[in-house]
Amino acid sequence: MDPTALLPVIEGVWRWSVWNEPRKLWFNGHVLEIDGQRVVIDPVDLTDEIMAGIGPASLCVVTNRDHARAATELCIRTGARLLVPAPDAEALGLRDAQLLDDGDLVAGALRVVAIADAKSPGELALFWPERKLLVLGDAAVGKPRGSLTMLPDDKFADAAAARAGVAALASLDVEIILVGDGDDLLASGAAALASLAPGAPRAPANPGAPGC
C-alpha cells in the first residue's frame, strides 16, 4: 500500500504513514519544525509529494535498531544529518551517523530519553518540554485510538521490566505522544504511560489523532 500524504497533527508537527496489514497498524514517520529546522523521525516510505512537503530537512532521527526504514534515502535526498541511538548503532549499520545517548539534545529542544529494558538496548524517546510532547519509536503502540499498548511479550527479554521502563516516562510532563506505530495521542499522555506499569489499571481513552 502506498504511503499517505503528509498530514498535520498539531501546529508544527506532521505525520505520514504506511499501513501494515499483518499487524493492522499504521507505521508512521513524523516531521517536527523546531526554530526553523525540520526534524524527521523514523521516516517510512517516501514519495516525491512527501519529500516536497517535508522540505529542507536538517536532521533525521532513528529511535531504535528496527526503525531504519527510509532514513538513508531521506538523508541522501535532503542532506539531513542522521542521528541514531549509540547502543543500536552497530545493529542498524547506517553509515555516517551521529550517536545519541541519554540526555543529549536534538535541535536544541528535544531531549533524548533512554528507555530501560526495551525491545532493543538503544530504544529512545524524544521529549520536547516546551510542547509537552513525547516521541516514541517501538516503546509503545498507539492502539486502540487514544490509548497505549505494548508490543507482544515475546518481543522483550523481560516484559514486566519493559512495561515498567515505559511507564517511568509518566514522570515527564507529557500531554501529546507521537508513536512510530498506531495512532498518536493528543491529550493525557502521562496517564496513558502510567497505565502501562505492571498491574496498573487501564487508563480511559483520550483524544487520538485519527488513523490515516
pLDDT in the model for residue 178: 98
**Structure pTM?**
0.94
- Domains of the chain: which residue ranges? 7-194
pLDDT tens-digit map of 66-88? 999 999 999 999 999 999 999 99
pLDDT tens-digit map of 8-28? 999 999 999 999 999 999 999
pLDDT tens-digit map of 86-132? 999 999 999 899 999 999 999 999 999 999 999 999 999 999 999 99
Question: Nine-digit cell at 168?
Answer: 517511568
pLDDT in the model for residue 128: 98
Residue 210 reports pLDDT greater than 90: no
pLDDT in the model for residue 1: 76
Task: Assess contact for 161 and 134: CB atoms under 8 A.
Answer: no
Q: Which fold has domain 7-194?
A: Metallo-beta-lactamase; Chain A (3.60.15)
Task: Assess contact for 87 and 97: CB atoms under 8 A.
Answer: no
